[in-house]
Amino acid sequence: MIKEQLTQQILSKKSYLCVGLDTELNKIPKHLQHNANAVLEFNKTIIDATKDYCVAYKINTAFYEAMGVKGWQIMEETLHHIPTTHFKIADAKRGDIGNTSAQYAKAFFETLPFDAITVAPYMGEDSIRPFLEYENKFTIVLGLTSNKGANDFEMLKTGENYLYEKVISTIANWGNPNNLMFVVGATQANQIASIRNIVPENFLLVPGVGFQGGSLKEVSNAGLNNSVGLLVNASRAIIYASDKENFAEEATEIAKQYQVEMASYL
């Protein structure tokens, strides 16, 4: 999917919501847990319940890799259940020496037809370049995260700037807004405006709204640009909105609430 198609979907639905499928067996409704295909059936139901109100899905691969071969099969079947109109993100946080990254890129862009993958920037350009070489695919680089450990490195001062600002400004020159996005945590809303000055045209993927306490209003005010430029991810707040048999209806309602609020900011 190219940037213009994603933007058109956002404007058409008046939503820049991304639903995170961070599914854990012990957190889905108990009446499903004994089903042999519980995680897959749960994912399919969540997708069907939310697809009218979101434009993207983000699959955190760790939750599937932890299940071994079966988990990979579930991830692949989940991916194929997502409508072709929706942007599909592999939240895999890969990044290694060039020949290894090339295999990661092949895994998630060819073997599994994701539109985008999250990557870690620490090892530099040769670890990211193989992902950027794919046409009509996006590389989503960790920019400023919302975890406590962000203070260990990302918030270090390098001269007059923070390290995360150096990382984002440097990497912005390796790609362009048509193949490069950045992850910025929603709880870092105060920094989103400064990041937007560094990368005015790139999309930002913003997790942390909902259970982590990020403000959708603050993120939207600071991050929206002329082509929208935002994907705001919500995971637990939507997929675990209810642990009862009405979980699909509750997921629909929460997703709709996000969409209605987002429409007011567009």
Bridge partners of 209, per DSSP, are: 214
Distances (CA, A) of 220 to 15, 39, 249, 258: 11, 32, 26, 12
CB half-sphere exposure, 215, CA atoms < 13 A = 9
Token pair, residue 264, equals 């007011």
Integer Cα distance of 69 and 66 in angstroms: 9
Name the token pair of 141: 């680089």
Q: Which residue of the set 44, 93, 166, 256 is catalytic?
A: 93
Return the biggest CA–CA distance within the chain.
56
Q: Residue 81 is encoded by which pair of tokens?
A: 């259940």
Residue 75 φ/ψ, nearest 5 degrees: -60, -45
**Matching residue, tokens 């975890």:** 147
DSSP per residue, 13-44: HT--EEEE----GGGS-TTTTTSTTHHHHHHH
For 217, the token pair is: 């209003």
Active site residue 244: no
Backbone angles phi, psi at 241, to 5 degrees: -60, -25
Which residues are the active-site residues? 93
